[in-house]
Amino acid sequence: MFKNEYVRKVYEDVVRKNPNEKEFLQAVYEVLESLEDVVENNSEIEKQNILSRIVEPERFVSFRVAWVDDEGKVQVNRGYRVQFNSAIGPYKGGLRFHPSVNASIIKFLGFEQCFKNSLTGLPMGGGKGGSDFDPKGKSNREIMAFCQSFMSELYRHIGENTDVPAGDIGVGAREIGYLYGQYKRIKNESVGVLTGKGLSYGGSLARTEATGFGLCYFTQKMLQTMKNDSFENKNVIISGSGNVAIYAAVKVYELGGKVLAMSDSNGYIYDKSGIDINIVKEIKEVKRGRIKEYVNYVPSAKYVEGCKNIWQVKCDIALPCATQNELDEDDAKTLVKNGCIAVCEGANMPSTAKAAAYFVSNHILFGPAKAANAGGVATSGLEMCQNSMRYYWSFKEVDDKLKEIMENIFINIYSTAKKYGDEYNLIKGANIAGFEKILNAMLAQGVY
Ligand code: NDP
Ligand code: 2IT
């Protein structure tokens, strides 16, 4: 529990106001715990009640999304957008379409996004949105109908200088295209109101690859700085097989590592000679199929039912890239016992609080999500920049900037962690470094 009285009161208030929102409370608890020392050293934080202000979203909207399915039936889902904090720039953050989406999930993601966006160094505030709509098994026409209905409400809350959504779980290039088309139809404006757009209508080169590539640039810098090591000849396991997982795998190979296992929500594949990522791309990106189909292409590979078991595969580096709380304390112990030296989070909050604490106290190199996966939103920021200029940069130009941003994030959070007494506690380093810029911006802008 908290040692600082003010921090404790703020947290109790959050619990009282957001009952049963376990993911949101988990994310808030972690940040507040990290900030205790900062609060004790800067009396302005309590005087201006900054903590109560950062845990309360500036705006939270929930709305009905009605659409017609292929059988002519009217379906209803719930849509959300949280505009969490605009102190350092327009709200920015993805949209998630998944049946598990609820207010708690959207608020935890929006809260995390504030600190992540701050760490990128770009002027972006934090937001997030989505729906409990399940894209699995839906036809293209149903996806389009849903996206159009979703945007018919969302458009009034967003704008290129107000709030700029992007993708997340269940929202990729196809969905962004339908959403953008509908925004344009309503507003008659071709502007950078969404990121992750297709290359033919204002998207940025390297945005598709950015989160996975960025995760590996971050991990590489961490290995080099803290252990004088690299991806060379390392065995890597990556959970998930979506956008983040696939491009993390591509970069692992480029950097000399080998990916032994990948998963989806049903199970995982293990290929001891190294997963052929082009096959995974074919299954997931082209056919929108299931990861178990991999064994049809590579009969020597193994499919294991149940995605949680992936952490039992022996590895040097683990990159959880599926979803929140997918890696618990038992998984953490298994990984450490099997000799894993580094864990970097591609997904948002994939490690439970106990798992993360176990990594830190056992001196495993642990890259927390809000730093390690910031490459996606950073490149979204670069897409906004290119849209404003009505110009574009080459793949190499964007990728070079992404790499520089990820290395700077590592340097920043590592030096902050050291300053606060534990170089292995990059969780604390990331939370404090992300918070400081927001704090300065809020203090400068008066009470709002
Ligand atoms: P995708 O929809 O492309 O892929 C999601 C992957 O995770 C799929 O393999 C999916 O399996 C699996 N998954 C989703 N939910 C669950 C679950 N409840 N249990 C087990 N597996 C699950 O999403 P992304 O790759 O874009 O996102 C993955 C993670 O990365 C998320 O946490 C997201 O918030 C985070 N992230 C994404 C960024 C981006 O730019 N896209 C940026 C930063 C973070 P299945 O197909 O079976 O559902
Ligand atoms: O969690 C995330 O950072 C994202 N899903 C990407 C957000 C963005 O605006 O690119």
Ligand 1 atom closest to Cα of residue 166: 40
Ligand 1 atom closest to Cα of residue 240: 9
Name the stretches of the chain with pLDDT < 70. none
Mutation to probe ligand 1, out of 323, 351, 409 (largest number of atoms < 8 A from CB): 323
Q: Is 204 in the pocket of ligand 2 (CB under 6 A)?
A: no
Alpha helices in 262-352, H assignment, sequence order: 277-281, 294-297, 329-337
| Collapsed DSSP state (helix, strand, coil) of residue 263 | strand
Ligand 2 atom closest to Cα of residue 196: 10
Alpha helices in 197-328, H assignment, sequence order: 207-227, 243-254, 277-281, 294-297
Q: What is the mean pLDDT of the chain?
A: 98
Q: Could you tell me the distance, in angstroms and rounded to a whole number, from the CA of residue 121 to the centre of ligand 2?
A: 15
Euclidean distance between CA atoms 365 and 355, whole angstroms: 13
Question: Which of 436, 434, 439 is closest to 27 using CA atoms?
Answer: 434
- 0.85 surpassed by pTM: yes
Residues 6+ apart with CB under 8 A from 389: none
Q: Could you tell me the distance, in angstroms and rounded to a whole number, from the CA of residue 293 to the centre of ligand 1?
A: 18
**Catalytically annotated residues:** 128
Percent of the chain with pLDDT over 90: 99
Q: Is 125 in the pocket of ligand 2 (CB under 6 A)?
A: no
Q: Is 351 in the pocket of ligand 1 (CB under 6 A)?
A: no
Q: Please report which helix (H) or strand (E) contains residue 58, including its range.
A: none
pLDDT, one tens digit per residue, over 285-298 is 999 999 999 999 99
Give the C-alpha distances (Å, rounded to integers) separating 65 from 138, 139, 398: 16, 17, 36
Q: Kindly give the interhelix angle for 207-227 and 243-254, rounded to the nearest 10 degrees.
A: 50
Question: Which of 92, 402, 423 is closest to 226 using CA atoms?
Answer: 423
Residues 6+ apart with CB under 8 A from 378: 120, 122, 210, 214, 402, 405, 406
Euclidean distance between CA atoms 127 and 110, whole angstroms: 5
Largest CA distance in the chain: 64
Closest ligand to residue 169's CA: 1
pLDDT, one tens digit per residue, over 253-264 is 999 999 999 999
Give the C-alpha distances (Å, rounded to integers) separating 259 from 32, 78, 241, 306, 307: 36, 37, 12, 19, 16
Q: Is 283 in the pocket of ligand 1 (CB under 6 A)?
A: no
Q: Is 212 in the pocket of ligand 1 (CB under 6 A)?
A: no
Q: How many CB atoms lie within 10 A of CB 157?
A: 17
Mutation to probe ligand 2, out of 168, 175, 244, 323 (largest number of atoms < 8 A from CB): 168
pLDDT, one tens digit per residue, over 77-98 is 999 999 999 999 999 999 999 9
Q: Is 113 in the pocket of ligand 1 (CB under 6 A)?
A: no
Tell me how many degrees the CA angle 185-94-57 measures, rounded to the nearest 5.
105
pLDDT of residue 1: 86
For residue 35, the one-letter residue type is L
| Collapsed DSSP state (helix, strand, coil) of residue 339 | coil
Q: Could you tell me the distance, in angstroms and rounded to a whole number, from the CA of residue 194 to the centre of ligand 1?
A: 19
Euclidean distance between CA atoms 297 and 279, whole angstroms: 7
Q: Is 110 in the pocket of ligand 2 (CB under 6 A)?
A: no
Q: Could you tell me the distance, in angstroms and rounded to a whole number, from the CA of residue 172 to the centre of ligand 2?
A: 11
pLDDT of residue 411: 98
